[in-house]
Structure 1
């Protein structure tokens, strides 16, 4: 994906190759019987690394990623693995510490049995590790990195909807609803500044006036002054955490009648716990997240199978205040494993250069992926603006639910 205004990293040189082993005819015959693919991975196990916070206040992120990755690995292993070899997961705790994240990346890059690394989550942590991946030819997949340009990378792929396309999807929705102006209330951090740039670039493209960025502070007791400055906006975009809940509260106090919107973070039950009933009628852009759509018949079959397995094995997360629920897994992390396995099987090797090239040629339909999203990473992005949905939060006597309000759906 090319951006005209906002760009990030420059291209990096690739380094040493990870070599796949050889096998005898007898071994190949055994692997064909086990995996049905007719080739031998040359290894007793194909290891995949995960670097994510497993302890501390953000441990839930790592746990959700681990659960979904393990469920998808189990599915592939039951079908015979990759080239007859079973997948194994190696987990490293970043503890939300950039030093630990980089240390873990260096460790896993140096292990030739680790064929792909998922993480480290968070853009700043990944930015500190991606040079190591590129220089050492280590395939990596990122379900927790929202910013940056992956099209300049050789070995890095993203299985998250980038913030940029989330903002563009919202602009499309606003235009369909006749919204002619938008404002942003957000923390003055990297994410806030990035979203400010995205809106400034994209809003005019859709005939929408950008009324500016109101930068919040951690010690704000109320966001009413920020909302009052944007009271004429047809839509206000908010942060995906407690700060965004404060904005929604201020909008309610001010009698704001426009659209309150955000990107994919608004799907989390923690946001609903903070925002409460003020989140009713708010909308968010996200890849397929059908769990809170009550008509299960509308769920994508691969997504439904993955989520059902997650719920059966690990359960659900329930907001203690809101009572809203979400599965205890994140299927976009499982998509990393799906894509890696499909690429390796297509080229019948574990050579990272060949797998990286094969991944750019994938086109896996949304009916066959754990996330229910089409995987087509020609530009190293799994998902694109046409894959995103707009969901609206609603609540009735049975609790919280979402409705797909994507224009044209």
Structure 2
């Protein structure tokens, strides 16, 4: 003992815990990240259930199954069990009321098939599995432009995002994101033939494929302008044009189907407007971009401020969004991600009315997490992850623990 050998720290092992983590296959590491995120979300949901009262939408002591089947999941369940109404319900004013035509059929029926008699179990399984697969594809998409560390952190942000409860409730978001990321990856890798199968399924999972049609058009223009340095063969031109036309056609197909079944060509658009009319009588017909202008005034008046401040805030928001695309971390994500983000944001501005569901509707912009994860600062990355989890806790408490206010709709 005189040499003190028993009191000195043992030498570090040749392989550290970090080395063991890096030796795992990427799919296993993403599975670990995703599982940890889902356990945290489950904890938040359990806390929301404990805090739920008789005044809550879900009542006292709801189960996790109640949350799975809550909110829009009821509409998807209705689609799977009853289908779509040939005669849409109407309100006291004679306008078409909220009904199942606002919800696409793919997720509803896939969940029904997977559940083997229990739609809720099938919905949970499809959402969970699609969320994990979406993480894998998102990682693959980001790795085309980023290193492994940034891509994994982006996946962690995505899996833990403030609205990550969507990965384990009966909503179509998880499946839509999986299909969307597959489509973006196919464009980035120029695997055109796969898109002929992905795009129609995407179109009938939830709205948004028209943004992909715009993205393909812009992508074709970008490729044409760069053809001197990046050759654009005739076969690729044909694919881009054909796929853009396909995305446009299937993007409008649901309106045509709803019109054919109900005998009312405006049945789908009037169904979507039914949710807006609860906010304002101004929504008689659909007018692109009207929703955001109306909402700017409505929300600021609800907050006790003059409407003009809402319009000014809207202008500043648009300017900030445009400026975002010039930020170096966003530019480094690649043209495919940037064109998709721009197209989808324009689509949102054109067709949606911003309210509490807007946070959920931002999920298709998730490839932009790559820009957030780009800085190599571990402290910054951990801080972003902590903010994601804090936002998730607040969002779940509001939407599922309470859900009894007009701004508590996921």
TM-score (norm 1): 0.25
More helix, by proportion: 2
Greater fraction strand: 1
